[in-house]
Amino acid sequence: MKNVKMNKWLRNIWYDYKSEVAFGLMLSALLIVSAWLSHYIPTQMFERFINPSLSIACAAICFFGAGLCIKHNDGIRVRRSWAAMLIAWGVWELLMITLSATADPSIMRVGTDTISGTTMVLACLFAWLLFIYPTEVLRPGWLNWKHILLQLTPLAILGVLDYYVPADLRWLVALYPIWLFAILIGHIRNYRLWCEDNFSTLDDIDVQWIVRYVMMVMMAGLVFYWLCISRQPARALTQQWFLMFLLGYTTERVLYRPDPWKKVRSMLDEEQDEPDSANEAYRASLEAWIEQEKPYLNPDFQLMDLRQVLPLNRTYLSRFINSEYGCSFYQWVNGMRIEQAKRLMNEQPDLKIQDIAERCGFSSPSVFTRVFTRETGHSPSKWSSD
């Protein structure tokens, strides 16, 4: 039994994150090729022409993306937050270019000195800026001034200690992004559970996007540390193009990814006492309604649709499903869809996968195949042939 559970857990990990693994491998390959090419770029050419041009291009991406997010903010706070981050990053790039041209040309000579504590504190500050977006996506409104102060205070203390204490605190400073990452992991888990408790399909929610974004931020941090250690200025080419890719790609997702919170924002919980001993009656009413109406065959079936038969608010609806069926709303609905698919395959073995997916409430054949294989351990075609 333990091996069966472990195999199902591994299948869940694979089907949930295999696209992110492929995405990470692709980016890693591009980073390696870029690092190899940068080895053949003359240092003087890079410092005079290539690096300033890359900084200007990065600033242009930041300001253009910020303009789009502000123009199309649609009252979505996360777009305003991302626009503020892009403006801050763009101003920093322009400041570095201006200082290099008018005051100190050595500012643009990256990677020639050993990394200092001050440089690491500054890098951690930019890491914090990059963590604003996923935090706002996962927990809208959570990042208020109180939480901002709590997150930046340890970094400020580390910066002061590094300046006044003679000991080497650079690696202690380097732990700060790991701490941010740990906080984010907790938010990601809660976010996924919230999505599964409210929606019967995650196709338009893009839960894995946050995992992909965090992966890109981690790669950007590793590239930065590698640049500082290598002491080869031309390798900043890898850092700059990767940052432009990260900022541009994320801006596109900020503008076009669906906002699941928006779907339930208009259904705020009303004040309501938890029912005392009505669970059996509620369960009987719910199952009779499910058997008669079969709402799970609708791909847009949501948790709040249960209010047609259960007089509960969103919180208690989710709690009721979790306690009565021992799973999330997403798992409960897809379990019924899988059982319906099995019945169809037994009764009509000649049905195509596309027809089965459509009749069972799945948004596409690929989603049906993925969910069916994850739950049963066999593809639909193999299962029907056994």
- Domain boundaries of the chain, sorted by first residue: 34-264, 286-385
Pairwise CA distance, residues 127 & 112, whole Å: 22
Signed CA dihedral, 93, 94, 95, 96: sign only: positive
pLDDT at 367: 82
pLDDT at 15: 57
CATH pick for 34-264 out of 3.30.70, 1.20.1070, 3.20.20, 1.20.58:
1.20.1070
Question: Long-range contacts of range 117-120, CB-CB < 8 Å, 24 or more positions apart?
Answer: 117/159, 117/162, 117/163, 117/168, 117/169, 117/170, 117/173, 118/159, 118/162, 118/163, 119/228, 120/162, 120/170, 120/173, 120/174
pLDDT at 272: 46
CATH no., domain 286-385:
1.10.10.60
pLDDT at 262: 58
| Residue numbers of the chain with a pLDDT score lower than 70 | 1-18, 100-117, 202-208, 227-235, 258-278, 385-386
pLDDT tens for 200-216 read: 776 656 566 777 888 88
